[in-house]
Chain A
Amino acid sequence: MAKAGAKSGGSGNKGLKRKAATEEPQEAAVAEDGTTESRVQPSKAAAFPPGFSVSEIKNKQRRHLMFTRWKQQQRKEKLAAKKKLKKEREALGDKAPPKPIPKTIDNQRVYDETTVDPNDEEVAYDEATDEFASYFNRQTSPKILITTSDRPHGRTVRLCEQLSTVIPNSHVYYRRGLALKKIIPQCISRDFTDLIVINEDRKIPNGLILSHLPNGPTAHFKMSSVRLRKEIKRRGKDPTEHIPEIILNNFTTRLGHSVGRMFASLFPHNPQFIGRQVATFHNQRDYIFFRFHRYIFKSEKKVGIQELGPRFTLKLRSLQKGTFDSKYGEYEWVHKPREMDTSRRKFHL
């Protein structure tokens, strides 16, 4: 009974409200020479002359009611405006103005002055003679050592194994609590060109240190969203021994170029297209997404991809000039959150 009462009271309220609302706009319309449509503006007209807003109603139920009504009104108006615009576009046909492009953070990106111009000779010379020159001149072929932080747990171990199937000519070694500074000279003497250390925290891998060996830069990444092979849905069969193709997307700035070249130097220079495998490093908003796919050629023109190996996301924390020496090494670039992350539209890679 009370409920019914309340309901009737509520609907009565609504009815009352409606009446009041419809009464008011008529008055308002009369007052304003009836330029407003009485249909469209009941709540607006109600807000108009008294200067009251929905948020000033103290009763929560009534306030919620007024708000939902206002929202429905807005939605209707928006739909009507869209239809009108569409009609106008169709009416104009070819002469219609181009559709406005929505603003996204990527296309509002602050122009970075370090963006590499492909015709720039100085940067070209710098890149032609940097630490990766011997790889890009086909003088050395990569040999990678993959290891982890001390005492890795299952996920990290499995990630290392899967990475070693993805990266050709790579070897996984157990890190027996050895210091990296002692491992590095031994690697150099055994002709390794790169060292990957996967750091682990609380049983999940969360960091990656990539060090180019003879005396090359060391990059330290934060690793997140690691998915091992069995966690990937609709994946293909395990990768084969073919050398994959590499795709490096969107590494535009000078720093991005250096990091991109580091990734490129992990893989041998001669991709075997017969294996149809491709490793992608896609940079977007300073996050680097790693994916490993296989092409499936369904017909002459239709191609599909199936995801194979592990996937993870990297974010660069620092790029250090020599081999791993976090205390005394010189840094080319260090990520400083309070200085560099102030703008949502500025990216560094």
Chain B
Amino acid sequence: MAAAAARWNHVWVGTDTGILKGVNLQRKQAANFTPSGQPRREEAVSALCWGAGGETQILVGCADGTVKNFSTEEGRFQGQRHCSGGEGIFRGLAQVDGTLITCVDSGILRVWHDNDKEASSDPLLELRVGPGVCRMRQDPARPHMVATGGKENALKVWDLQGSEEPVFRAKNVRNDWLDLRVPIWDQDIQFLPESQKLVTCTGYHQVRVYDPASPQRRPVLEATYGEYPLTAMTLTPGGNSVIVGNTHGQLAEIDLRQGRLLVCLKGLAGSVRGLQCHPSKPLLASCGLDRVLRVHRIRNPRGLDHKVYLKSQLNCLLLSGRDNWEDEPHEPQEPNKVPSEDTETDELWASLEAAAKRKLPDLEQSQGALQTRQRKKKRPGSTSS
């Protein structure tokens, strides 16, 4: 049952204890998935990204240097590959054309050939990005471009198909009013859609926009927020603003056209570790060290939608970008029957449903809406895991 339902989870969260948690906000359930059945701190999840084929696979980067493959269709870990080299945890994971890109803390960026076998082959490409990397991000529009940045490691944009030198290397801002060098600490990077621009948020509470298309290597726009290091950032649907979170749990939406603060969101009590906005709906998922996953609605009306207590410290999250927020109709009618023997039929049904759904989205959606409403009356909404 859990296996079949895993595909409908809205948010996937990686924790410090090595557990991958799938949260279904509609049914208010959270499920734990571990590769070895027991939580292990050595497998603390430090990076998550969607795998090949839409949102059916998740690549989980663990602290011991392995990248594990998790299938949402089947609800279990399928394989792992040991991506050795360099010290430190994974700071970025990306997937392009059947290859896997990994970047670790010490600055070694490697591109691996994505064969499903356990044997670790040599990397296809290796780049040294510079020590102290805090984030590596892939451009969703041009998957072979990645950007890296970190503590005393300026923002660099690399073209993996091109040369070994970065395509764009950012320059530090001018010395401040005391003529002292402004330190660099890029904590998170995002590519702005429909342009070549990048946004970074720094540990010195600055939000900067860079434009590789312009001759200026210095940031085009700089805005500051708060007094604490900004740890996570995400773009809002619409592309004109970003939402940043800092180590005190303060979330703020910053407009990139004028560089000013729009709104603050409240609720978090601990450092924000992961933030992601839905690509079309005004929903923001945030997770942090206070062990709670929160989903906020960022406009009309602004506020907290869901709050889920997940017992371990949360490191990173993936928000499903699908439009149909509700479950498929046929699935939830199974619970009262014998669940164990029906897994194969479940999967069969689920795969059939998926195909049908793609052709006739409206019909299925309305049916699903009706039936979920009926379902909700039967089951009390309570978070369990």
A interface residues, Cβ below 8 angstroms from B: 113-114, 120, 122-123, 125-126, 129, 254, 321, 327-334, 336, 339-340
Contact = CB atoms under 8 A, between A and B. Distances in A.
Interface stretch (B235-243, B262-270, B316-324, B325-333): B262-270
A126 B44 CA distance: 12
A67 to B, nearest CB: 46
B71 interface: no
List 6 tightest A-B contacts by C-beta distance, closest first: A330-B271, A332-B289, A113-B309, A330-B247, A122-B311, A332-B270
Nearest to B248: A334
B289 A330 contact: yes
A332 B273 CA distance: 11
Contacts of B266: 336, 339
B383 interface: yes
Contacts of A336: 249, 266, 269
A125 to B, nearest CB: 5
B309 A114 contact: yes
Contacts of B248: 331, 334
A327 B228 CA distance: 6
Nearest to B289: A332
Interface residues of B, number: 29
Nearest to A328: B229
Contacts of B365: none
A331 B291 CA distance: 12
Interface of B: 17, 19, 32, 38-39, 41, 203, 227-229, 231, 247-249, 266-267, 269-271, 289-292, 309, 311-313, 383, 385
A179 B217 CA distance: 37
A334 B289 CA distance: 11
A318 to B, nearest CB: 8
Nearest to A339: B266
Nearest to B204: A328
Nearest to B228: A327
A334 B270 contact: yes
Most chain A CB atoms below 10 A, which of B229, B231, B267, B271: B271
B312 A126 contact: yes
A333 B270 contact: yes
Contacts of A321: 271, 289
A122 B267 CA distance: 24
B269 A334 contact: yes
A123 B16 CA distance: 12
Contact of A340 (B203, B269, B271): B269
Contacts of B38: 125
Nearest to B267: A339
Contacts of A123: 311
Given A321-B271, A339-B266, A339-B267, A331 B309 contact: no
Contacts of B32: 122
Most chain A CB atoms below 10 A, which of B247, B248, B266, B309: B247
A120 B39 CA distance: 13
16 contacts: A113-B309, A113-B383, A114-B291, A122-B32, A125-B38, A125-B39, A126-B312, A327-B227, A328-B228, A328-B229, A330-B271, A334-B248, A334-B269, A334-B270, A336-B249, A339-B266
A86 B76 CA distance: 65
B41 A129 contact: yes
Contacts of A333: 269-270, 289-290
B203 A328 contact: yes
A30 B376 CA distance: 60
B335 to A, nearest CB: 24
Contacts of B39: 122, 125-126
A333 B17 CA distance: 19
A33 B63 CA distance: 87
